[in-house]
Every structure is written in C-alpha cells, then in structure tokens.
Chain A
C-alpha cells in the first residue's frame, strides 16, 4: 500500500501526505489523510486522526523528524477522525495543539485537561509566520463543523481543506489524484450536499480561498486536487446548493 508521498520539497520546506485506509464503502475507498509540513527543523502535523491510527501516524512522522521537533498539531475541527488521538499525542510529544476556540472546552472528553497546551483560533482565523512564509488559518465554519478551519501553506501553495473536498475513490493510495473532475463530481456531490451547511458558507469560503494562489487542494479524505482541478473544485463548490438550501430533502 502506498501510505506516504512527498507533495512538496524545495530543500527547505517539505509537505508530506500520509494516507491510511479508514473504511471501505462498498467497493470504494474512503481514505483518511494526515499531513506533515516541515520547515528547517520544525514541523506541523495536520489532522492526526483517531486513536486507532495513532501508532501508524506516530511511526510515519518520526521517520521524517525527531518527535521533539514536532511543534504544532493542527486540528481542522473536533471530529473523532481528526482529533480523537489528542490524548496519545499529548503523552508522546510536547507540541502545542491548534484548534477552533469553540472546541477547546470539549478537549477533556478526548483526554486533555491541560488547556494551556492548546492554542485556540478565533473565528476570523489567523496566521503563523516563519520568515517570508506563513500558514494561514482560513475560516471554514459550518463546512461542516461549526468551528472549522482550512490551512493554506504559502510556500507550497497547498490548501489543506479538511472535510471540504472529501471524496470516495475507486482507487486507494497517498499518491492518487483527481483525473477527471466530471467523474469526481459524482462522488463529491452526495457528501457535500449533506455535510455542508449551505451555499452561503461555500461562497464565503471560496471568496477567502481565492485571495491566495492555490496549486493543490489536499482534503482530509480521498484523493488530491492538483493543477486545474483545484480551480474546478472551487468553481463547483462556490455554486453548490447544500444543507439548508435543500431543506425539502430532509424535512
């Protein structure tokens, strides 16, 4: 299985995707992706996943950097497949955990009572700068979580979009990418229509994202959107009617 791939590496800055098979949906795969961003000797781990995957992700991370160099772990939102392993990570490393401020109070349910290890992100987002480069926390609230952020890496120009862009694929592997957007739409529409709160939120997020030059969209589930497919996805998502726009389907 292809569980790991370097998405970007210029010698100073590196982005790695780890992908572990989470669930099989009939004959299709719903991959769970974790990402590691390394600059010089410091690293940020994104959405490390559930406690079931902790051992594998820990081993994968420590192949790239010593665990003490892991400075931040970013949780796009509070779902178990994103944040359930927080207790294990709290025990095994000294990283600061970054999460939306609305979820900090729930962390004790994941086994964390030491709230001063958390850095809570305000609704409007924020930025972590390192030299000329930065990581931008882009608000993605109600897409689908009520307190949700995407992460844009200015150096690699990758948008780590969390649940936005999640897709079920015929194939499985960390190096897979969208090859045909019209075909991909079929797997995108069901999830996004149900899990995203409404078009108003989709538009707001796309407006924010379009301020940045995005070469790749890397979702938490499924395969990657590279080259023109990233733009195709943003155009599609901006117009998507979902959640509250489709009340009649639900009530």
Chain B
C-alpha cells in the first residue's frame, strides 16, 4: 500500500522528465531501464561515459543516472563534463565501490545523489522522488519568476516582491522613482526603506514600536496611505497594498499606487502640508534674497506705528539659511525695534516678506532678522494713510433709519474707510450691505464729527470679537475734514514715535 502510494507520487512527479541512464553492465542496464520506463516518459541509455556525454549534449535530459567504472570515460569524468554544460541537471551516481576517494570526487564534480550497488528498490524510488521533486520545484520557480517579472513590468504601480522581508524582484518603475541603477542597489536601499515613508496624519510610517512592514504584512489587501518624496523633492501620495501569493506563504507583493493628482494630502494633514509649504517658501525666499544680495540691490523696509507707515530703503549684506542682516536708517531701526518685525519688498519679490527681529546693533546700523515668510498684502500697495485715533471716540452705527444697538470701536481710519471692532454682530450685518456711520473723534478742542454712508466691505471673526471694514460711500462730503484730522493725527503720531525713538 505504502509502495503503491510512492509509485503514484513518483509517477505524478516524474511523468514529463527525461532520464539518461549510463551503465556498461548490459544485464543491469536492461533491467533498470524497464523500471525507469514505468515512471519516466523518456529513458535514454548509454553504455559508457563517452556515449553518455554525447547523448547528454544531444538531448539535455533532466536526470542522469550513471555507473562509475566504465570503459572509454568513467561516470565521474562524464559528470564533470556535464556540469560544465548544465548545473541544473540532477545526477545520481550508482557504484559498487565503497571507497572514500570516489565519494569525495563525486561531491567535487557536483553529484546530487550517491547510491551504492546493489540498489534496494526502496532507496532508488526514494532518490528518484526527491530528485524529481527538486526538478519540479525549480521548473515552477522559473515559471513563477518569468510570470511575475512579466506582470511586474507591465504595471503602472511601483511593485516590490518580498520573500519575508527581503526584496526578490522590483519593477523598473520603482527603480526609476528612487533613481536606483539596478536590483542590487534597490536591495541595499530597501534596508532603510522606512525612512522613505514620511510622517503625515493618518498615514503609515514607522512609529515607536510599530514597524510599517509588519503592519502591511499583517494586513494583506488592506489599503494604506503613504507619503514619499520623489527625486525632485516633491511629496507624492501613494496607496500601499500588500498581496499574498497563493501557496507561497512567505511571499508578498507590495504595490504603491501614485494618487498624488487627487490632491488628498491636504485633507489628511493640513499641518504637514502647511509645514511643507513653509519649507518651500523658505527656499524661494532665500533664492530671491540671494539675487538681491548678489546684485547689491536695495530693498524697501516697512513698519507701522499706530497705523502710520514708516518706510525706508535698506541694504542686505548677510544671508544665511536662517537669518538675514540689513543696514537701514536709524529711524527705521527704531520702528523695527518697536514692532519687533518688519516687512521687506523689492521689485523682484512676488509678495512682501515679513521678517522677525532677532537683534539690532545701532552703532553699526545693522539689524538681524529671522523667521522669514511671505505675507499677502504689500505695504507699498496700501492705498491710503491710516491712523489709530487718539483718546475717546464714538461711533454710532445705523442700518436704514434705525440705530443699531452695538458698541463699535475704531481700530484705524483713513479717508476711504474705517476699520472697527464689534463685540457682537447686529442683524443683517453682512458684507455688501449699506450702513451709516456717525463718527465723533474727540482729538482736539473742536471734535471732528462726520456722518457718512458706508458699505460693509469685510467682516472677520476674531477670538474675542469681530473686526469689520467699512468703505465710505460719500467720502467727498467729509473728505476735507478727514484729511485735516488724519494729517494732525499723523503729526501727533510722528511726534510720539520720535519721542520713543529718542527714548530708545
């Protein structure tokens, strides 16, 4: 029964294989051939090593079974020549000799099995089964490799075939993405692959005690978001999925599908995106400033004091990745010192740049600035002079004929409009609606009273209150009064600023 099972198994494995049997003992040759023919489709017979080698060259059999001692060319010498042609062929040596020298030589020439004559049937069948299984596995592996390679190279995704944690195959798309020359380079690169998976909210990357590959392999067919920088430094968003392979427990395919164009990165992690934007912005700012410095161009420096613009030109004379040093007038240095920052402009800047104060050296007229970032409004494009009013002022807000019961405080005022803060928002207080403002500015012996139609231009919710900007509709009526008021207030602010300036 057990024998039958073995027969069947061998028959299934060996059916398609070709055997070359080399034996100078014709009786044994005939007997053994009959046995082999029961299992193998093609059995070829040779009488000595020379004949055997010739037949091998002609037929390229899967298995060679040979005697050792034969005329013209002995079995081991024949195997030596066969090995020069093929390493895959399975070789079984049968011999009546029981000496170590032959055994060592057999090992040396690359024999797969060494059987001692007379050969017991069980032993022979066992050896043939093992050999046939080995051949079948190797053929499957070749087929598999060929198939996988074919599949891999016809995919748009990046694909990595892993045996446990080791890469076995990687497609060209992956090599191109990471700018790697070949598979050997990728194997080395993959050792530090966790560094490629960047931190992003709800994305997969190495965290404390969590190894990304463990997570992926434990969750086959689950989709993971990952973020990887490409060779140009751009962040790409991939969907990562691991596939298992049927009957290959240790094998996984990792598939990376690039979905950056869907613009989902910001949805997952606004903070990370804004951090990246800041980094990009920093690079742009540095390049722009590098041009300014190289050309020794002047920059325009802006500050404000209670709404009043204070500006001068300056020269950039030192630039590092983190900070810049500028020279400017004493007046401007004082303004920077009061504001703790300044805004710089140049014709070549797409936007104005805000710089925080790091230090000032008054003696050398030098200001050190840091934390540079673009700001959306250019001070040079500010259309009007604004001032923060002095002391008490009163604003009554009217919607239609009705006075709205809300406290309004002026933040700053210009001839074109007024910026105010409100504790609460009255009904119908929406941008575009018309209102009337009655403003009393108690800044001198004779208070300024203006009554103006105004359109609500902008409304922002702040942490504790609301800020609104009204644009005056009929400004001509009150324009001269406002010009006079702002002009006086401006002079007062200049006096105040200069007082601070000299006070240091």
**Which residues of A come within 8 Å of B, CB atoms?**
51, 54-55, 58, 87-88, 90-92, 94, 105, 108, 111, 113-117
Contact = CB atoms under 8 A, between A and B. Distances in A.
Contacts of B414: 91
B348 to A, nearest CB: 16
A111 B312 CA distance: 15
Nearest to A104: B312
The size class of the interface chain B forms with chain A is 20 to 34
Contact of A87 (B302, B310, B331, B491): B491
A94 B383 contact: yes
B467 to A, nearest CB: 23
A116 B312 contact: yes
B25 to A, nearest CB: 110
B376 to A, nearest CB: 19
Nearest to A68: B383
Contact of B483 (A88, A113, A114, A116): A88
Given A94-B383, A111-B494, A116-B302, A87 B487 contact: yes
A91 B302 contact: no
Interface in B415-461: 415
Interface string B298-326: 00101001001111110000000000000
Contact of A113 (B311, B479, B484): B311
A71 B385 CA distance: 16
B480 interface: yes
B490 A91 contact: yes
Main secondary structure of the interface of B (DSSP, over half): mixed
Contact of B311 (A51, A54, A116): A116
B371 interface: no
A94 B308 CA distance: 15
B384 A91 contact: yes
A179 B498 CA distance: 51
A111 B485 CA distance: 13
A55 B415 CA distance: 14
21 contacts: A87-B490, A87-B491, A88-B483, A88-B484, A90-B385, A91-B384, A91-B415, A91-B486, A91-B487, A108-B498, A111-B487, A111-B490, A111-B491, A113-B309, A113-B494, A113-B497, A114-B309, A115-B312, A116-B302, A116-B311, A116-B380
A116 B313 contact: yes
B472 to A, nearest CB: 13
Nearest to A117: B311
Contacts of A114: 309-311, 385
A88 B309 CA distance: 14
Contacts of B300: 116
Contact of A92 (B302, B308, B415): B415
Contact of A115 (B305, B313, B487): B313
B415 A108 contact: no
Most chain A C-beta atoms within 10 Å of own C-beta, residue among B302, B311, B415: B311
A91 B382 CA distance: 11
A92 B483 contact: yes
Contacts of B310: 113-114
Given A87-B487, A91-B384, A108 B494 contact: yes
Contacts of B345: 116
Nearest to A94: B383
A92 B383 CA distance: 9
Contacts of B380: 116
Given A91-B487, A111-B490, 9 more contacts: A87-B487, A87-B490, A91-B385, A94-B384, A113-B305, A113-B309, A113-B497, A114-B309, A116-B380
A113 B331 contact: yes
A55 B481 CA distance: 10
Contacts of A113: 305, 308-311, 331, 494, 497
A51 B383 CA distance: 21
Interface string B152-181: 000000000000000000000000000000
A91 B336 CA distance: 23
Contacts of A115: 311-313, 329
A51 B484 CA distance: 10
A111 B488 CA distance: 9
Given A91-B415, A116-B380, A51 B487 contact: yes
Contacts of A94: 383-384
Contacts of A51: 487
A91 B311 contact: no
Contacts of B308: 113
- 3 A-B pairs closest in CB distance: A114-B309, A116-B311, A113-B310
Interface in B351-384: 380, 383-384
B305 to A, nearest CB: 8
B74 to A, nearest CB: 101
B313 A91 contact: no
Contact of A91 (B312, B329, B483, B494): B483
Nearest to B335: A113
With most chain B CB atoms within 10 A of its CB, the pick from A54, A88, A94, A111 is A111
A104 to B, nearest CB: 9
Nearest to B310: A113
A105 B385 CA distance: 19
B365 to A, nearest CB: 14
B331 A92 contact: no
A88 B487 CA distance: 6
A129 B398 CA distance: 50
A56 to B, nearest CB: 11
B131 to A, nearest CB: 91
Nearest to B311: A116
Contacts of A92: 415, 479, 483
Interface string B464-504: 00000000000000011001101100110010011000000
